[in-house]
Chain A
Amino acid sequence: MSATTQWFRMRMSSLVLVPLTAWLLLAGICMSGADYARAAEFMGQWYNMMLALLFALAVAWHIQSGVSEVIEDYVPSHGLAMFLVGLTRGACLAGIVIVGWALYRISMGGAA
């Protein structure tokens, strides 16, 4: 990937995350103190599921790009830096899978 593409995709993830973060903050406020029934109903709404999935995808890209930048700037050993970047990307992918699985379970009505 060219540096320009990398730069551009990072800005695109930032742009997409601005409204999604507003949603996350509002969702957090609504869900403060919520019991299981209310939380399950909230997250079970199709639009909240879509927004959560979109947030997970955008934030995973944002993190692998941003954290890699920090690692490459401050970790002196190239080998260690590459290892940490790989670890970050793996964790981001795992995060997407976990969010997808959790949302699927919630859409199926939680623990069946």
Chain B
Amino acid sequence: MSSKPDSRPLSPYMLGPYYRFQITSLLSISGRLTGLFLAVVTLPVALAWLLALAAGPDSFATVKALFSGWCGKAVLLVSMLCLVFHTLNGIRHLAWDTGKGFEMSTVRASGWAVIIGTFLLTALAWWWAS
């Protein structure tokens, strides 16, 4: 194998036809996908809110109207799901970084806890906000 930087190996795809579907691989790729969504969609949306607030009442009213439409609400709901998931899954990763929770039964249990926690916390936050 050549040592050119261009020929470095890429990560294998753990979903699809090559590997059996598992909660571990699903949550792993979801961590990355939700992170990307938060960076590319959620943060610019939050930034738009802050900028509109800085720009004055007229701009703020426009952004507020966009947020209360069905499209705005859908983006906010998906954002909230991604934020809660990414945070809970991140805490799971931080626990692994201290060397804890690596038994397969614990890994699966913490995975399910992240999934259930995400939906519960998001539902609670959404209900509280409306």
Contact = CB atoms under 8 A, between A and B. Distances in A.
Interface of A: 11, 14-15, 17-18, 21, 24-25, 28-29, 31-33, 35-36, 39-40, 43, 52, 59, 63, 66-67, 70, 73-74, 76-79, 95, 98-99, 101-103, 105-106, 110-111
Given A18-B90, A78-B8, A95-B47, A40 B53 contact: yes
A25 B125 contact: yes
B54 A110 contact: yes
Given A11-B97, A35-B64, A29 B53 contact: no
A73 B83 CA distance: 23
In the complex, which of the residues B5, B54, B84 has the most CB atoms of chain A within 10 Å of its own CB atom?
B54
A98 B53 CA distance: 13
A24 B125 CA distance: 12
Given A29-B129, A78-B8, A21 B83 contact: yes
Chain B at the A interface: mostly helix, strand, loop or mixed?
helix
A110 B53 contact: yes
Interface string B62-100: 001000100000000000100110010011011001000
Contacts of B60: 35-36, 39
A14 B10 contact: no
A18 B91 contact: yes
B51 A102 contact: yes
B9 to A, nearest CB: 10
A52 to B, nearest CB: 7
A63 B33 CA distance: 13
Interface residues of B, number: 37
Given A24-B46, A76-B6, 17 more contacts: A14-B93, A14-B94, A24-B83, A25-B125, A28-B129, A66-B35, A67-B39, A79-B6, A98-B47, A102-B54, A106-B50, A106-B53, A106-B54, A110-B53, A110-B55, A111-B55, A111-B57
A25 B84 contact: yes
Nearest to A107: B54
A70 B36 contact: yes
B10 A105 contact: no
